[in-house]
Structure 1
Amino acid sequence: MASSDIAAILENSKELDRLRKDQEEILLEINKLHKKLQTTPEVVEKPGDNSLARLKVLYTQAKDLSDSEANISNLLISQLDAVLPPGPQGQPRRRIGKVCVTEGNEQRRKRVKTESDISRLTPSMRNQLEACAGLKGEQVAARVTPRNAEKDEWFVVKVIHFDKETKEFEVLDEEPGDDEDSSGQRQYKLPMGNIIPFPKSNDLSSAPDFPPGKHVLAVYPGTTALYKATVVHGHRKRKTDDYVLEFDDDEEDGSLPQRTVPFHKVVPMPEGHRP
């Protein structure tokens, strides 16, 4: 192995370490802004405030650093592949999640779920976890499988807790349907992919401007269940806080009635969803 090869690997390792330190600094700034906006959201209404513009800049920097980290990591892998001898190295490995672990290595497997592993996530992934943790106490749209149900359904639930290690939400269905086994509230543990946050009820700008004909999931009036619907009028065009929707399978007298739904009870149709 040439000394120049080792020097190049060490140099890229130093660059990788520098990128991670820069990411940590950006993340700290992002978290400070998040806290500021959560505690005093009205600050964005003040003339001259640049909180949102600053947040956008920080997210852009975080993405650029994350992309650079991925490029350097791929380069290091290529450099190591070039200098390592062919053939199997060490014990057989198997993949758990996104981390390769040695067969039978219990300590390594447990370490996958520790805070030290979380700290090595890219800024975008850490920000996603922080955003999920910030949903505690909020109502969200959740895909669940109720007892005795043949398929998944979407309900309005309240977030009780988000576990950053398992990436699972603990949620409460506060108003279970009449077909449930009991009239009491029900709790579920759901993965991140089963949760969609609603737009903030006090922030109309947080709601997407769905065009007419767009398919969405929306809370059917008078219920806590979400169903597939088609946008007839978006809230911005009508200059109101509501959408006008037509729900699938809501036929009355041979036609679909148009129903008004508040903007904070409508979410995008999940990719690949089949209601």
Structure 2
Amino acid sequence: MSSSVGGGGGGGAALAGGDVAGLLDKAKELDQLRKEQDDVASEINKIHKKIISSPEMVDKSVDAMMARLRGFYVQARELSESEISASSALVGLLDGLLQSGVSAAPRKKIEISEQKKKRMKSDTDTTRFSSASMRSQLDQAANLKGEQVAARVKSDDEKDEWFVVKVIHFDKETKEFEVLDEEPGDDEESAQKFERKYKLPMSYIIPFPKKGDPSSAQDFGQGRQVLAVYPGTTALYRATVASHRKRKSDDYNLLFDDDEEDGNLPERAVPFYRVVALPEGHRQ
């Protein structure tokens, strides 16, 4: 490329022509990726509507539907990563065109700002499958302000720690929640036994079902593993549903892992609005 730029006007024009052709090809690729994202988003929305309209599905149907839904989300993530790659390539091509003097007036070199880099990184923490769908997710996240949610506030190689926290703020640019832990553990020093704040990505937050709307809650059948608030605490642990419920508003009877009493796991009653799906790869 340096030899072409260093040549006469004809060499520069040839370079520009080649880069413009590459730019158009990459733009077509980006457009195709976005169309595929819209198709995936449409399939995901169909499954969401089916789940909402048929909440009393048997476990086998739920498992099959969730597996299919997960496949679409994986595909959405892959398309998103491909879109980022194509967009970065377009930025590189435009940089080359601007540096080769295609523009008649001097222009500042196009660069990816630190803020954009943060957004691109945070996309790996959220499933980004279409602009319209992402806007909806961001709006829903912003509407959680003041609500209690389940949050993964600590994580290491051995275990994840989930607690009930209150959402203070959601930043749509960085896709980060600011949350408040209103009841820190008793083992903290007295000077620290007050409110603690955390900044967490979207993937670390799980909204609870609405207390006054049982229909908004996912129905977990007997034998399903879930993440639930242990009675009398603000901590969430992995548990297994011990029995079927008659109504969606009924409490769950749960068997918490590592909760043995006299060699047995006692059943603990937990309100439906304090039980959520077990995150994939949860470590306890």
Shared fold by TM > 0.5?
yes
2:114 & 2:157 partners in 1: Cα distance?
A: 35
Q: Within the alignment, does 1:140 sit opposite 2:149 as a pair?
A: yes
Q: Counterparts of 1:114-193 in structure 2 under 5 Å?
A: 122-145=131-154, 151-181=159-189, 182-193=192-203
Select the residue among 241, 251, 254 that pairs with 1:242.
251
SS of corresponding position for 1:229: strand
Over aligned residue pairs, what C-alpha RMSD do you find?
Answer: 4.4
1:264 aligns with: 273
1:68-97 deviation line (CA, Å, top 9, x unaligned): xx8xx99xx8xxx9xxxxxx95769xxxxx
CA–CA distance in structure 2, aligned partners of residues 194 and 159 of structure 1: 12
> Which AA in structure 2 matches 1:241?
D
Whether 2:120 is the aligned partner of 1:112: answer no
Question: Could you tell me the percent identity over the aligned residues?
Answer: 60
Give 1:112 deviation, angstroms.
2.3
1:201 is displaced (CA, Å) by: 0.5
Structure 1 residue 260: deviation in Å? 0.5
Q: Distance in 2 between matches of 1:90 and 1:137?
A: 44
Q: Distance in 1 between matches of 2:241 and 2:198?
A: 30
**Cα separation, partners in 2 of 1:144 and 1:239, compared to 1, 3 Å:** closer
Asked if 2 retains the 8 angstrom alpha-carbon contact of 1:209 and 1:234, the reply is no
Structure 1 runs (4+) deviating above 2 angstroms are: 88-92, 110-115, 148-152, 237-241
Counterpart CA distance in 2 for 1:231 and 1:210 is 7
The residue type paired with residue 221 of structure 1 is P
- State TM-score, norm by structure 1: 0.58
Equivalent residue letter for 2:227: L
Contact 2:214/2:248 (8 A) holds in 1: no
Structure with the higher fraction of residues in helix conformation: 2
Instruction: Count how many residue pairs are aligned between Structure 1 and Structure 2.
Output: 195
Supply the distance in 1 between the matched residues of 2:249 and 2:147 (Cα, whole angstroms): 23
1:94-109 equivalences in 2 (<5 Å) = 108-109=112-113
State whether structure 2 residue 206 is matched by structure 1 residue 202: no
Larger RCO (CA within 8 A; separation ≥ 6): 2
For residue 111 of structure 1, report the CA deviation from its aligned partner: 6.2
Gaps of 5+ in 2: 1-20, 39-71, 97-108, 124-129
